[in-house]
Structures are given as structure tokens and as C-alpha cells.
Amino acid sequence: MGTPIAYFRGRWMPLEEATVSIATHALNYGTGCFEGIRAYYNKASDRLFLFRVREHYERFHASCRILRIEVPHSVDELCQLTVELLRRNPMRQDVYVRPLAFKADPVIKVSLDGIADQFGLFAVPLGDYLPTQGIHVMVSPWRRIDDNAVPARAKITGSYINTAIAVSDAHAAGFDDCIFLNEDGHVSEGSAANLFMVRKGALVTPPVTDNLLEGITREVIFELARDQQIPVVERHIDRTELYVAEEVFLVGTGVQVVPVVSIDHRPVGEGQMGPITQSLQALYFATVRGENLRYQHWLTPVE
């Protein structure tokens, strides 16, 4: 790969030139929205496949609507720009694409009104964000942000300080990641991933009203599980249910499908990846790399 190319201020430029002032509103107040989109490399066909790119940009538009940011491109245009971005940055490996829209004026003003918006797009190589064979987590003493304070269903840049504080404390305590509870004391999600557990052969996950991101990978797991005749239940989850679950795993664009093998120093099930997690993980990776024809409608090839 040569000089990385980004799309910023309506044109293509070297990534190193896509910069902002330290007075930029979003840098000072966290007033931006972003997405994380993966493209997977299939070595056999020598092709990249964007995974569910349209759904990501639909969510991107929804996040920006909440934060009163005008996106200068339609969902279709954003999909086309992303394909072009990967053509201009040819990479024979897995890739992470980052669209970002933010309040751009250099102004000292705690508000969303009367401030110009800007959009940028770039891509970087990215392998596994967390170990896919199993992680050790803790239940964080920090609570998940509440919808009536900072909405978790929007991917707002400033809100990820909630994740940064919690996951840094988890790392300092010797864990790989953490699980958030909401203000009601129910399980919400991982630090930056949705959570599933297995109880009595069924997949159980918190509802989106428990202050979690409406995950695209979460929806994928719903469909993969139902196609495998695995029942899926959305309901509140108590903290101690995690300690007696047969399996627990986290899902997200970044983390993909990651088994949790211990929580608060208690083994989950047998203390290793369980059979349902293993089956869904294998199906997920086959799907995103274009090896499973049943779900090819989720893929956008980069020719």
C-alpha cells in the first residue's frame, strides 16, 4: 500500500493532510458521529468484501440526526464513496473503514445550533480487535450511559469516554474487557460490543431499551441463530445470570464474535468456547469472507 488516501472536505487527499484545528468544536466538545465498517479479504479470490455497508450508513444517518449533523451524502453515495476509498487504498488484508461527521467550526460554544458540519472517510488495516478464542472480563463498576443523558444508540464520539474509562480500568485490573450494567442494574453490553448468553440452549440478549447500541452484528447473529434453529430471546439480564450461563459471547463489527470464558474470575460454562458460540463464530467468519453463498446479499465486493 502506498500513501493512504482519505476523503475529506469533499475531495480525495493524502490522509496526513486531512487535519483540523485544535479549536474545532468536535475536538473540544465531542460533537461528532462515526461508524466502523469492516471489509474482509478473501485470499482464494483475491477480493475484498464490505460487510453490510448499507446498514452501517443507515445507522450513521440516524446517529447524525440525533446530534443535528447534516450528512452531505445519501446512503447510496456513501456506499459508493466507500468502494472508491478501498480502490484508492488497495489492501490485501482485512480493513476497517471509519466515516466521521462532526461539528467543524472553531468556536467556543456549547451547543449544536449554527455550527458548520464536516464529513471525512478513511480506512486502516485491522485484524482481530480482541482474541477470538476467548477473553476474561469483569463487570464494570462504571454504568452504561443512559438514553436520557447521552443516547447509546447513537455512535457519538464524545460518549465513548464511557467505554474508555471502563475498559482502561478493566485492563489495569488484569482483564481483557468489561461488561456494563445500566442504571437499573441490568446487563447492558460489553465495553464496545453487544452481549449474548446461552441459557438452557437458548440465546438471550438484552433489549435495545437497556441502553445499548443497536448493533448490526447483533442483528446478523439473530438471523444466523434462527437459521440454525437456535431460539433467540430479548429480555432483561441480571448480573448473576452471567455467572451461571452456559456460554457468553460479545459481538460487534470491531470485536466480531468473541467468546467470554470467565467473568469476575468465575469460569463461564467449562471455561472455554462453548458449542453454540463456536458454531455461530465459524458461520460468521465464513459469511463475511464470501464463503457462505446463503448470505452473499450482505456483501459488497470491491472489484
Q: Which residues are catalytic?
A: 155
d(CA 246, CA 36): 30
